[in-house]
Amino acid sequence: MPIAIRGITPSFAGEVSGIDITMPITKEEVAAIESGMDKYAVLVFRDQRLTDEQQMAFSRNFGAIENAYGGNITKPEDKRLAAGMNDVSNLGKDGKPLGLDSRQRMFNLGNMLWHSDSSFRPVPAKYSLLSARVVNPKGGDTEFADMRAAYDALDKETKLQIEGYVCEHSLMYSRGSLGFLDYTDEEKQMFKPVRQRLVRTHPVTGRKSLYLSSHAGAILGMPTPYARILLRDLTEHATQPRFVYAHKWKPFDLVMWDNRQTMHRGRRYDETQPRDVRRTTVAGDTPTVAQAAAE
Ligand SMILES: [Fe+2]
């Protein structure tokens, strides 16, 4: 059976069949997936029993794997997974759920805020691929918002107003909104804000989208309270149910999304039970706007 993509909704999120991504895939299959990503922005692959090595090999079909440096407070020696894999589980190195008071766990709760992966990096991510190895018995859906449709639905005045805006993104803004305010000097240096355009254009389709993220905490040239109200307002607009697909995980689902045209968030789940989901991230190739000169 050849590869096929069926829309879960007419224009957002598709389900892929007729492919085994644990094996090397052909150039034609890579092209079909890329074009499915351009159309649907989120693709679901069911029943793919991937190892970490296979997940990384599949991801590399779409670009280099992003360097994870600076994306978390977890120290290298405390990491459960090998380089190239992002641990989105609630597990410690011993394979057991982290304590509810674990700083690592609390920091990772930021994944439950709407965001686009790595928007806090000067060159933000292209795709993310999340593989469910152990599904939590309760909750834990991942929701995706279509930022192209959200942009299209803005009124003309707002589109004109925000066209040239440049935001500052930092992990300290997203975590700060959860009351997570204490960082070491090293962490502060690592989480220094970067600049991102608020309206970005997809390099293949030419469609515009709202580039929002909970990491965005300022707009250049605007007093912070005004900027934050505008960002909240736009986020509220962009995450209305009509723009959202909620993925209910089954074991060995792999969901792949385009961070350049979507936001996502995890939903709460039973933290005492394991949830083992592992992400690979395909690096972007260009910044959305020039960065500030280094100090
Ligand atoms: Fe994420």
> What are the tokens at 21?
């991504």
Query: How many angstroms does the Cα of residue 128 sit away from the middle of ligand 1?
Result: 8
Task: Give CA 71 to chain center in angstroms.
Answer: 12
Query: Strands, E, within the chain: which ranges?
Result: 4-7, 14-17, 42-45, 86-87, 127-134, 142-146, 166-169, 194-197, 199-201, 208-210, 216-219, 244-247, 254-258, 262-266, 276-282
Position 294 scores a pLDDT of 59
Query: How many angstroms does the Cα of residue 160 sit away from the middle of ligand 1?
Result: 29
Query: How many angstroms does the Cα of residue 263 sit away from the middle of ligand 1?
Result: 8
Query: How many angstroms does the Cα of residue 31 sit away from the middle of ligand 1?
Result: 25
Instruction: Name the band, by pLDDT with cuts 50, 70 and 90, for residue 139.
Output: very high
**How many CB atoms are closer than 10 A to CB 49?**
13
Residue 28 to residues 33, 118, 183, Cα–Cα distance (Å): 9, 29, 47
Query: How many angstroms does the Cα of residue 195 sit away from the middle of ligand 1?
Result: 19
| Listed range (103-107, 154-158, 280-284) with the worst mean pLDDT | 103-107
pLDDT in tens, 206-258: 999 999 999 999 999 999 999 999 999 999 999 999 999 999 999 999 999 99
Q: At residue 72, does pLDDT exceed 90?
A: no
Q: At residue 173, does pLDDT exceed 70?
A: yes
Q: At residue 295, does pLDDT exceed 70?
A: no
Residue 184 to residues 7, 79, 121, 188, 191, Cα–Cα distance (Å): 46, 19, 19, 6, 11
Checking DSSP bridges between strand 254-258 and strand 127-134, what pairing results, if any?
antiparallel
Query: How many angstroms does the Cα of residue 87 sit away from the middle of ligand 1?
Result: 11
Query: How many angstroms does the Cα of residue 156 sit away from the middle of ligand 1?
Result: 30
pLDDT in tens, 78-112: 899 999 999 999 999 999 999 989 988 998 999 99
Query: How many angstroms does the Cα of residue 157 sit away from the middle of ligand 1?
Result: 31
Query: How many angstroms does the Cα of residue 24 sit away from the middle of ligand 1?
Result: 26
Query: How many angstroms does the Cα of residue 107 sit away from the middle of ligand 1?
Result: 13
Q: At residue 21, does pLDDT exceed 70?
A: yes
Rounded CA-CA distance 157/142 in Å is 32
Residues with Cβ within 5 Å of ion ligand 1? 117
**Of 139, 115, 138, 140, nearest in space to 128 by CA:** 115
